[in-house]
Amino acid sequence: MSCATESHAYVIFGATGNLAMAKLLPALFQLHCLGRLAPDVRILGCGRTPFTQEAWRREVREHLPASDPGPLESFLQRLDYLTGRLEDAAFYQALDVWIGAGECANNVIFYLSVSPELYVPITVGLVEAGLLAERTGWRRMVIEKPFGHDLQSARDLQHELNLRLKEEQIYRIDHYVGKESVQNLLVLRFANMILEPLWNRHYIDQVQITHAETIGVNGRASYYDRHGGATRDMIQSHLLQVLALLAMEPPVSLEAESLRDEKVKVLHSIRPLDPPQLASHAVRAQYAGYQQEAGVAAGSHTETYAALKLYVDNWRWHDVPFYLRTGKRLKERRSMVAVRFREPPIQLFQGAGVSAAYPNWLLIGIQPDDVVQMEISAKVPGEETRTRQISMDASVGNPGERKAEAYEALLMDVIQGDRSLFLRYDEVKAAWNVVDPFMHGWADDERPPLQYPVGSWGPKAADQIFGQADREWRQTLRCDDKPGGKC
């Protein structure tokens, strides 16, 4: 049998977990349907729960979208399962046997979709069984976030990995960066000339980055309560990545190091929090009822909502606030970037049907709406000179176009060895450097987080970080159709 150059085995640790079932296996299935997996690619699920091969295939089938029986059956034929304790040497010997049994098994991807405490034990097990040595092919390891739970633990983890793997073998995944709408930020900024002259402190008043969810901690309360909190779970990774893409300088090329060099410069430029300013620069809160979720520690201070005000202290952005917020069980599921421009120096039209000028906003929907929208003032038809705000908006996709899921794109990148959308260690470190002072400040604060009602936009106090009565969170893409209407 001749092996395709892209032949490989995909080994998923934590295969019975939520991420593997909800995202990884469906993404691999999609790649299979699109003909993007070489015919000899095999996929091994590993976990403690025992499954026979047949039971495992049945289990996976239930989590895949409806499809024609042909592709479904041929995908299921790729799947195997290995039961074992990930701490036991015997497990890695069995894994070695499974890998060796494949005729085209020189290249292997190990995907760690497990609790972070297991990253090092798994790496040690793989090394001791000789499974990370790149003798005849490549061996790559994908590591899910969180990479550490603070700066020091990220350093410790990196140290342990460095002892056993080359940096080129490590793929630190941040699925948010794999979203098409997030990658579109790069295209909007660097494939167009109209934004660049305005994209700086002279024209931009503030930038808001929102990731709002309606779901709660959904079956992962005990994990979230111990390792998460909105700041660690979303801001340290996903939202700081969005900020970096928005604020970075043009990269020399789209090559991995070039992109990551520019992102890391932004993260390094973020002004460190001055601890006495914690209350004016950050809000943390919990949704009502969080404490009653099964798995949440009594009296937990873990925040399910966080909002931070950050400044990127460089030539382009000095003194422009970047507001980042995220929360669970909020009013809507919506992720977007909202850029508010400065107002004209003289308000020629003030009093002309409006009490205050409308600022221009550029809105970039990340999900569920993948749109780009520019709000500008225009004359209301009629004899009087009255103005109103109109919106020029465009949906990014055309009807019928398929949007790839973030994991599809990223899993394909791992196969192709393209690390541009994966995080480099210095990026992760710089991101912990940004959020650690907020986390420490809150840890020292004995007061419980604020509470917000389920289905709201979070605590009222979240507006306080604007420090100006006429500045507030942009909640929606569309404003009410009245002058000064709510947005």
Nearer to ligand BG6, 181 or 206 (CB): 181
Per-residue binding letters, 113-152, with ligand BG6 (x by CB under 6 A) = ----------------------------------------
- Euclidean distance between CA atoms 277 and 268, whole angstroms: 20
CA 84 to CA 257: how far, in whole Å?
A: 38
Q: How many angstroms separate the CA atoms of 305 and 49, rounded?
A: 34
| 405 touches ligand BG6 (CB under 6 A) | no
Can you read off the two tokens belonging to residue 75? 């995908």
Which candidate in 238, 268, 281, 301 is catalytic?
238
213 near ligand BG6, rule: CB under 6 A: yes
Closest distance between ligand BG6 and the C-beta of residue 174, in Å?
8
Q: Which CB atom, from 9 or from 406, has the smaller least distance to ligand BG6?
A: 406
In the complex, the smallest distance separating the C-beta of residue 182 from ligand BG6, rounded to whole angstroms, is: 10
Min dist CB 392 to ligand BG6, Å, is 27
Minimum gap (Å) between residue 115 Cβ and ligand BG6: 13
Letter for the amino acid at 118? L
Q: Is 303 in the site for ligand BG6 (CB under 6 A)?
A: no
| Footprint on residues 146-185 left by ligand BG6 (CB under 6 A) | none
Measured between alpha carbons, how far apart are the two ends of the chain, in Å? 61
- Would you count residue 225 as binding ligand BG6 (CB under 6 A)? no
Question: Which residue, 213 or 408, is less far from ligand BG6 as judged by CB?
Answer: 213
Give Cα separations from 425 to 84, 154, 157, 202, 485 (angstroms): 30, 9, 10, 33, 44
Kindly tell me which of 76 and 406 has the beta carbon lying closer to ligand BG6. Answer: 406
CB 359 within 8 A of CB 340: yes
Our CA angle for 386, 391, 397, nearest 5°, is 165
Output the smallest distance, CB 237 to ligand BG6, in A.
Answer: 7
How many residues at the interface with ligand BG6, by CB under 6 A?
Answer: 2
Contact predicate 473/479, CB 8 Å: no
What ranges make up the beta strands (E) of 245-320? 282-287, 305-311
Q: Which is nearer to ligand BG6, 213 or 293 (CB)?
A: 213
233 binds ligand BG6 (CB under 6 A): yes
97 CB-near residues (< 8 Å, 6+ apart): none
Q: Is 318 labeled as catalytic in the residue annotation?
A: no
How far is it, in rounded angstroms, from Cα 429 to Cα 155?
8
Q: Exposed, middle or buried, 268 (CB in 10 Å: 0-12/13-18/19+)? A: middle
Please give the residue whose beta carbon sits closest to ligand BG6 in the complex: 233
Which helix (H) or strand (E) segment holds residue 195: the answer is none
Closer by beta carbon to ligand BG6, 23 or else 42: 23
Which residues, in sequence order, are bridge partners of residue 253? none
The CB-of-308 to ligand BG6 minimum distance in angstroms stands at 17
Residues annotated as catalytic are: 238
Q: Which residues bind ligand BG6 (CB under 6 A)?
A: 213, 233
